[in-house]
Structure 1
Amino acid sequence: MSEKTALVVSAHSADFVWRCAGAIALHAEKGYKVTVVCLSYGERGESAKLWKLEGMTLEKVKAARREEAEKAAAALGVADIRFFDLGDYPLEMNREDKYRLVDLIREVQPSFMLSHSHYDPYNTDHMYTTKVLLECRMIAQAWGHNPGEKVLGAPQVYLFEPHQTEQMGWKPDLFLDITPVWEKKRAAIECMAGQEHLWEYYTRVAENRGNHFRRNSGGQAGGRDCRYAEGFQSVYPRVVDEL
């Protein structure tokens, strides 16, 4: 039996924690080898608390954000976390950077991938990440790219929930019960000291999605209980044998 794997592509070093830490922890417990790649540390645009400290420098901020992300990844059972250190605000990737991501996708051969919403006018790094990921998925499937390497199949790409959902055109078609691993997600959230203002916000998001899980599983008519959940939007059709 081949190893089960998953790949999370996070624009900044904290994004994977807020938006899909439950999915990461849940699949890690199920035996998946989860790889997280942080394209940047969010050092310029998502580290305001750190920049307010006296004597702060760009390298110190990056080091602090990396340490937070590594601690969070350990709390979730992440098997492998990588940092591309491409810079943020703006995040930009050249052909070499894209091929680096293609190489990682082919190395991991993920059963599924997780990344940002298609649209985010508040943070264009987020939507840029998903645009590039879909391009790299396509390249990783191409037999003519580095012939002789194992090409990628057709893993689903799930878009995790953005920050101001109603502004993003993001529409979840899947809710995942993360109640069994909620304490792991909360522990990972609390590793993100540089963005403490988001701790309670994303706790409430998980509770709200738990409500939506219950409602869509049958609600008061005997539906399945769920206290915490995460929502995702599928990019590609899901292939099934039974509805």
Structure 2
Amino acid sequence: MAKHVLIFGAHPDDIESFCGGTAIRYAHMGWKVFFCVATNGNVGSTTLPKAEIAKVRYGEAKKAASIIGAELIWLGFDDEFLIDSVETRHAFINAMRIADPDVVICPCRTDYNPDHSITGYIVDECLHMAQVPNIETGTPITKKPIPHLYFMDTPAGVGFEPELYVDITDVFEKKVELLACHESQNSWMKTLFNYEMSAFLEIPARYRGLQAGVPMAEGFRPSYRWGRNFTRHYLPDCLSQAGQFR
């Protein structure tokens, strides 16, 4: 039976940006891949109204996920206003039950954007709740053990020290293809941060690759909270130091 990986992103395009290569490698390994996007991206435009850009961004996320056969779970919370609440936790727990994951990947809890950090916080706080019957979400509880949790890199790697790396050299061009589906964000990122999305992918990938001893890599940290199995690692061909497999 195929294993499942559930990757959380705060916004449409976050997963492709910071974990896209690893998602592709999981798909190549025969894992069932789930993309869960917490917010609808409805502020991500200087020209389109909120409802319209949200529809555009859903279509872009759906297209990107379909390229690698991933299933998209769309939570639809308002962009830039994600908060930790009962409603939000129920939605995250329900996503975990839908995906029934062996591995979960999410944003770092100290990322620069509040939606990113809140997404990572809620995932980390709720990881064990998908197995609790008295927390009802409308989806049956998962029968698997608590999944293994990894935090993905931050934009430009700021404030993030990876402990583990995944070699994405052979799938980097496919990662670029996934992010290219998010056409609405090219001009938005240029306006907001004055960078090209292609450089946004390549420079961090080469830097993390330099650290890992491969041409291109993505960086991760495991969760060390009690109840998580951190004596083994379940990232594709996981590297801990330059060229050393875990």
TM-score relative to the length of structure 2: 0.81
Which residue does the alignment assign to 1:161? Answer: 153
Sort the Cα spacing of 1:41 and 1:144 in 2 relative to 1 into closer, same or farther, 3 A.
Answer: closer
Which residue does the alignment assign to 2:240? Answer: none
SS of equivalent residue, structure 2 residue 110: coil
Encode CA deviations 1:3-59: one digit per residue, 9 max, x unaligned: 210001111111001000001011001100001111112221xx2xx32x3xx2111
Give me the whole-angstrom Cα distance separating, in 2, the residues matched to 1:32 and 1:19: 19
Matches within 5 A, 1:76-91: 77-91=68-82
* 1:203 Cα deviation from its structure 2 partner: 1.3
Contact 1:116 / 1:130 at 8 angstroms: preserved in 2? yes
Q: What is the identity, as a one-letter code, of the residue corresponding to 2:177?
A: A
Sort the Cα spacing of 1:89 and 1:34 in 2 relative to 1 into closer, same or farther, 3 A.
Answer: same
SS of equivalent residue, structure 2 residue 221: strand
Contact 1:106 / 1:151 at 8 angstroms: preserved in 2? no
SS of equivalent residue, structure 1 residue 92: coil
Give me the whole-angstrom Cα distance separating, in 1, the residues matched to 2:197 and 2:32: 27
Q: Which runs of 5+ in 1 are unaligned?
A: 215-225
* 1:96 Cα deviation from its structure 2 partner: 3.0
Give the superposed CA RMSD: 2.2
Identity of aligned residues (%): 25
Residue 71 of structure 1, aligned match among 56, 63, 68: 63
Deviates more, 1:92-101 or 1:12-21: 92-101
Give me the whole-angstrom Cα distance separating, in 1, the residues matched to 2:28 and 2:156: 30
Give me the whole-angstrom Cα distance separating, in 2, the residues matched to 1:63 and 1:240: 40
Q: What is the identity, as a one-letter code, of the residue corresponding to 2:40?
A: Y
Contact 1:17 / 1:185 at 8 angstroms: preserved in 2? yes
Contact 1:36 / 1:78 at 8 angstroms: preserved in 2? no
Give me the whole-angstrom Cα distance separating, in 1, the residues matched to 2:74 and 2:133: 27
Contact 2:176 / 2:201 at 8 angstroms: preserved in 1? no
> Which of the two has higher C-alpha Rg?
1
Q: Does 1:202 align with 2:201?
A: yes
Give me the whole-angstrom Cα distance separating, in 2, the residues matched to 1:82 and 1:126: 17
Matches within 5 A, 1:156-235: 156-166=148-158, 168=159, 170-196=160-186, 197-214=196-213, 226-235=214-223
Which residue does the alignment assign to 1:25? Answer: 24
Encode CA deviations 1:136-168: one digit per residue, 9 max, x unaligned: 21212435435x8444412221111111433x3
Q: Report the count of equivalent residues.
A: 219
* 1:97 Cα deviation from its structure 2 partner: 3.1
Sort the Cα spacing of 1:150 and 1:41 in 2 relative to 1 into closer, same or farther, 3 A.
Answer: closer
SS of equivalent residue, structure 1 residue 195: helix
Give me the whole-angstrom Cα distance separating, in 2, the residues matched to 1:88 and 1:117: 18
Sort the Cα spacing of 1:187 and 1:101 in 2 relative to 1 into closer, same or farther, 3 A.
Answer: same
Q: Which runs of 5+ in 2 are unaligned?
A: 187-195, 234-244
Give me the whole-angstrom Cα distance separating, in 2, the residues matched to 1:143 and 1:176: 35
* 1:227 Cα deviation from its structure 2 partner: 1.9
Sort the Cα spacing of 1:94 and 1:78 in 2 relative to 1 into closer, same or farther, 3 A.
Answer: farther
Give me the whole-angstrom Cα distance separating, in 2, the residues matched to 1:191 and 1:18: 11
